[in-house]
């Protein structure tokens, strides 16, 4: 055998031996019992899986969720009276029985209440009355006495054709679906007041346009009768953690004069009852936000504020949470954030300005005014709103007055709303027979602005805004006419009531400051000045028609009706059964497995954040 052939054979043998070793090792390994992959740990029964972002660690929201803080859709069957034969006596038997019982509860038909001469059956059989469905979105966590707007529409099973001129009798509102009889949830609110129809509808012209007269609103017609309950549920039940949270919340929100009990009261190892302090009534959203963003451990405020500052500078998506956290920390956070008042990036700057404004830091005024004058449109509007809530300061008042002449229409309206909030004497305000407020505003841009929510208002931008002369305007099938020749100093106003044959003629100054009060004023012995006695909706409709006919050289803007939008939004989120907090004191948790981003304890579905304004009404 040659050396070369031996070497080749040796190499082959070594290779085969190595292969055998490898196969043997592999076979041996196959017999080893491998450790199975560990399952991800799951939350223990009774706990919630809260996944909060870094900026929210150490807060109340990182340990608990808020229960009971959702807008509540409340409904009820009501009775509208005072109609002119447009109601209906055609009522389903079960609904008729229900209404008779409800009317009896209100004292109708009882001698002791002064309604003995009028029986429920008589009222229901009159075509001057109508059965309506009343519904509204009750503000979240609202306390007793909170007012709100309501929506009213004729029951579809009746023959009611119009609610024009009607008055809603006191109606009980309950959460959940409409029911008759005794199987109902408890009453949480009452509703009553004059029906406000579409203000652009021609009075008495049913069938001559496409406007729905079977639907209306009662502005500020609802009132909460019982506090809407609210609780915190701890993510991990623990008496120690519940006590810690309770102490932290009460330190942030100490008991105020007139407040019954502490803000936070522990009920068990997993539930804490929350009461809205008196200073936050009407501002429950702000209270809940501050509650959630409050730091549990009260030491080291400055270091916490600085940590939040570092996070928000590197992560602009956390600006809203940062702003609330700074505000919850209080005035000791101000030195940490003041240099952000002039920060180049708008989101971080606005976050710091918002916290500073809500903490009423005087140093925030100058940069906030700068933002209100020069920034993106959305930031400008937010800056104006922040200025409105700050304490007395002439510099703020003068800045807002200057913005009444801004080239942007919505900024002008936002500034007007801010001055109303600040009760600024610069605005001329006239209470027109208790029906609505007429606001006269000095501005270089003539405009008429109509509110359709809350307190009724007609705002006239341009104190000298007047009907153009000469004028001939015919409204409402010639029942209301305005005429004036070129040399006339006053307008001749002809008006005929809908059910009258003869009309009357009056002379009125052309300025809206005189014309609007004339249209709405009720002439009485105590107040003998002439007037047509129109309702708020009719007055708005008259001004609108005069504007459409070109007799008013101004923009016309109407506040958007958000009631229906809010109701429809909440309908989509409702459970088919009754809200648990009105039947179960322990608050059934619907979906405990939530993340902070996917389903935050307080969502952004707050209906008050919807866009308030419609486009300018076209001529």
Could you tell me the residue ranges of all domains in the chain? 54-66+230-293, 72-224, 301-426, 431-558
Q: Which of 71-75, 271-275, 432-436 has the lowest mean pLDDT?
A: 71-75
pLDDT class for 178, splitting at 50, 70, 90? confident
| Alpha carbons 491 and 495: distance in angstroms, whole number | 13
Buried b (16+ CB within 10 A) or exposed e, 480-498: bbbbbeeeeeebebebbee
| Alpha carbons 359 and 101: distance in angstroms, whole number | 52
pLDDT of residue 252: 94
- The helix (H) or strand (E) run that includes residue 514 is helix 512-520
pLDDT of residue 562: 56
State how far Cα 140 lies from the chain centre: 9
Say if residue 66's pLDDT is above 70. Answer: yes
Q: What CATH number should be reported for the domain whose range is 301-426? A: 1.25.10.10
pLDDT of residue 13: 43
pLDDT class for 328, splitting at 50, 70, 90? very high
pLDDT of residue 572: 61
pLDDT of residue 62: 94
- Using only the alpha carbons of the chain, give its radius of gyration: 33
Say if residue 606's pLDDT is above 50. Answer: no
| Alpha carbons 285 and 539: distance in angstroms, whole number | 34
Average pLDDT rounded to a whole number, residues 338-366: 96
If one compares 284 and 366, the residue with the highest pLDDT of the two is 366
| Alpha carbons 242 and 248: distance in angstroms, whole number | 10
Say if residue 584's pLDDT is above 50. Answer: no
CA dihedral for 409, 415, 416, 417, sign (positive or negative): positive
| Alpha carbons 354 and 348: distance in angstroms, whole number | 10
pLDDT class for 558, splitting at 50, 70, 90? confident
In the DSSP assignment, the letter for residue 264 is E
Q: Tell me the pLDDT of the chain averaged across its residues.
A: 82
Which residues, including other chains, have CB under 8 Å from residue 220's CB and lie 6 or more apart?
147, 148, 149, 193, 454, 455
If one compares 599 and 154, the residue with the highest pLDDT of the two is 154
Residues 210-250: tens digit of each pLDDT: 678 899 989 889 999 988 889 999 999 999 999 999 999 99
Pick the closest to residue 155 from 169, 141, 185, 135 (CA basis).
135
With a pLDDT cut of 70, the percent of the chain lying above it is 79
Cβ-contact 545, 453 below 8 angstroms: no
Which residues, including other chains, have CB under 8 Å from residue 606's CB and lie 6 or more apart?
71, 140, 285
Residues 481-523: tens digit of each pLDDT: 999 999 999 999 999 987 788 999 999 999 999 999 999 999 9
* CA 406 to each of CA 103, 163, 200, 322: distance values in angstroms, whole numbers, following the listed order: 53, 40, 28, 31
Helices (H), 394-511: 394-402, 409-421
pLDDT of residue 433: 95
| Alpha carbons 192 and 132: distance in angstroms, whole number | 12
pLDDT class for 272, splitting at 50, 70, 90? very high
Which residues, including other chains, have CB under 8 Å from residue 308's CB and lie 6 or more apart?
55, 322, 325, 326
pLDDT of residue 45: 53
Cβ-contact 188, 197 below 8 angstroms: no
Say if residue 24's pLDDT is above 60. Answer: no
Which residues, including other chains, have CB under 8 Å from residue 26's CB and lie 6 or more apart?
none
| Alpha carbons 300 and 308: distance in angstroms, whole number | 13
Cβ-contact 48, 592 below 8 angstroms: yes
Say if residue 261's pLDDT is above 70. Answer: yes
Long-range contacts at 60-63 (CB < 8 A, ≥ 24 apart): 60/232, 60/245, 60/248, 60/249, 60/291, 60/292, 60/293, 60/294, 60/296, 61/292, 61/293, 61/596, 61/600, 61/601, 63/234, 63/235, 63/236, 63/241, 63/245, 63/296
pLDDT class for 593, splitting at 50, 70, 90? very low
Q: Which of 37-51, 59-73, 583-597 has the lowest mean pLDDT?
A: 583-597
Cβ-contact 275, 261 below 8 angstroms: yes
pLDDT class for 164, splitting at 50, 70, 90? confident
pLDDT class for 361, splitting at 50, 70, 90? very high
SS (H, E, C) 338-373: HHHHHCCCHHHHHHHHHHHHHCCCHHHHHHHHHHHH
Q: Which two tokens stand for residue 560?
A: 């958007």
Long-range contacts at 100-107 (CB < 8 A, ≥ 24 apart): 100/124, 102/77, 102/172, 103/79, 103/169, 106/169, 106/170
Q: Which two tokens stand for residue 224?
A: 């909460």
| Alpha carbons 232 and 602: distance in angstroms, whole number | 12
Average pLDDT rounded to a whole number, residues 189-205: 80
Which residues, including other chains, have CB under 8 Å from residue 605's CB and lie 6 or more apart?
71, 569, 570, 573
pLDDT of residue 564: 60
Residues 378-424: tens digit of each pLDDT: 999 999 999 999 999 999 999 999 999 999 999 999 999 999 999 99
pLDDT of residue 118: 72
Write the DSSP string, 8-76.
HHHHHHHHHHHHHHHHHHHHHHHTS-PPPPPPPP-PPTT-------GGGTTBGGGTEEEES-S-EEEEE
CA-based end-to-end distance of the chain:
114
Pick the closest to residue 512 from 569, 479, 556 (CA basis).
556
pLDDT of residue 303: 95
Per DSSP, which regions of 267-342 are E strands? 271-274
Q: Which two tokens stand for residue 19?
A: 């292969």
Phi–psi pair at 189, nearest 5 degrees: -160, 160
In the DSSP assignment, the letter for residue 214 is T
Say if residue 8's pLDDT is above 90. Answer: no
- Side-by-side strand order, sheet with 436-441: 428-432, 436-441, 457-461, 447-450, 555-558
Say if residue 582's pLDDT is above 70. Answer: no
In the DSSP assignment, the letter for residue 375 is S
Q: Which of 216-220, 318-322, 359-363, 507-511 has the lowest mean pLDDT?
A: 216-220
Residues 96-128: tens digit of each pLDDT: 988 988 888 877 766 555 555 678 888 899 999
Say if residue 579's pLDDT is above 60. Answer: no
């Amino acid at each position: 055998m040659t050396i070369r052939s031996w070497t080749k054979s040796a190499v082959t043998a070594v290779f085969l031996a190595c292969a055998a070793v490898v196969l043997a090792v592999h076979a041996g390994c196959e017999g080893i019992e491998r450790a199975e992959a560990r399952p991800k740990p799951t939350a223990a029964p009774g706990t919630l899986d809260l996944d909060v972002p870094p900026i929210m660690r150490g807060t109340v929201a990182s340990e608990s969720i808020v229960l009971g803080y959702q807008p509540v859709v409340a409904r009820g069957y009501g009775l509208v009276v005072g109609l002119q034969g447009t109601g209906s006596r055609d009522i389903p038997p079960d609904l008729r029985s229900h209404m008779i019982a409800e009317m009896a509860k209100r004292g109708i038909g009882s001698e002791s209440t002064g309604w003995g001469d009028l029986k429920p059956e008589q009222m229901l059989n009159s075509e001057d009355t109508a059965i309506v469905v009343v519904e509204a979105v009750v503000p979240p966590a609202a306390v007793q006495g909170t007012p709100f707007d309501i929506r009213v529409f004729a029951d579809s099973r009746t023959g009611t054709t119009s609610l024009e001129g009607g008055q809603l009798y006191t109606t009980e509102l309950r959460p959940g679906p409409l029911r008759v009889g005794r199987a109902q949830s408890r009453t949480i609110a009452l509703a009553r007041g004059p029906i406000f129809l579409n203000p652009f509808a021609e009075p008495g012209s049913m069938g001559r346009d496409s406007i729905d007269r079977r639907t209306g609103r009662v502005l500020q017609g609802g009132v909460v009768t019982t506090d809407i309950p609210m609780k915190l549920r701890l993510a991990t039940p623990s008496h120690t953690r519940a006590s810690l949270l309770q102490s932290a919340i009460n330190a942030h929100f100490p008991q105020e004069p007139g407040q019954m009990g502490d803000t936070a009261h522990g009920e068990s190892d997993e539930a804490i009852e929350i009461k809205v302090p008196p200073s936050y009534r009407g501002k429950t959203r702000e209270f809940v936000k501050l509650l959630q963003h409050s730091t549990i451990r009260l030491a080291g405020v400055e270091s916490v504020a600085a940590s939040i500052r570092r996070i928000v500078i590197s992560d602009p998506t956390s600006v809203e949470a940062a702003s609330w956290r700074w505000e919850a920390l209080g005035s000791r956070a101000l030195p940490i954030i003041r240099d952000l008042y002039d920060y180049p990036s708008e989101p971080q700057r606005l976050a710091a300005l918002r916290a500073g404004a809500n903490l009423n830091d005087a140093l925030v005024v100058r940069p906030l005014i700068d933002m209100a004058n020069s920034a993106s449109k959305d930031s400008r509007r937010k800056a104006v709103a922040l200025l409105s809530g700050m304490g007395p300061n002439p510099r703020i008042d003068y800045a807002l007055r200057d913005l009444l002449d801004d080239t942007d229409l919505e900024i002008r309206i936002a500034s007007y709303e801010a001055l109303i909030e600040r009760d600024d004497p610069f605005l001329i305000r006239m209470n027109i027979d208790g029906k609505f407020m007429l606001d006269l505003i000095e501005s270089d841009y003539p405009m008429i602005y109509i509110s359709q929510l809350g307190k009724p208002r007609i705002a006239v931008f341009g104190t000298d805004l007047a009907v153009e002369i000469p004028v001939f305007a015919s409204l409402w099938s010639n029942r209301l006419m305005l005429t004036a020749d070129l040399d006339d100093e006053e307008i001749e106003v002809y008006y005929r009531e809908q059910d009258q044959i003869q009309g009357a003629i009056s002379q009125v100054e052309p300025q809206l400051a005189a014309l609007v009060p004339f249209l709405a004023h009720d002439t009485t012995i105590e107040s003998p000045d002439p007037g047509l006695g129109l309702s708020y909706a009719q007055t708005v409709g008259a001004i609108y028609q005069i504007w459409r006919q070109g007799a008013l050289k101004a923009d016309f803007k109407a506040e958007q009706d958000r009631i229906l939008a809010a109701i429809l939004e909440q309908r989509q989120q409702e459970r088919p059964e009754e809200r648990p907090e009105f039947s179960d004191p322990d608050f059934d948790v619907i979906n405990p497995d939530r993340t902070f981003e996917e389903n935050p304890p307080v969502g952004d579905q707050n209906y008050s954040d919807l866009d308030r304004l419609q486009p300018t009404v076209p001529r």
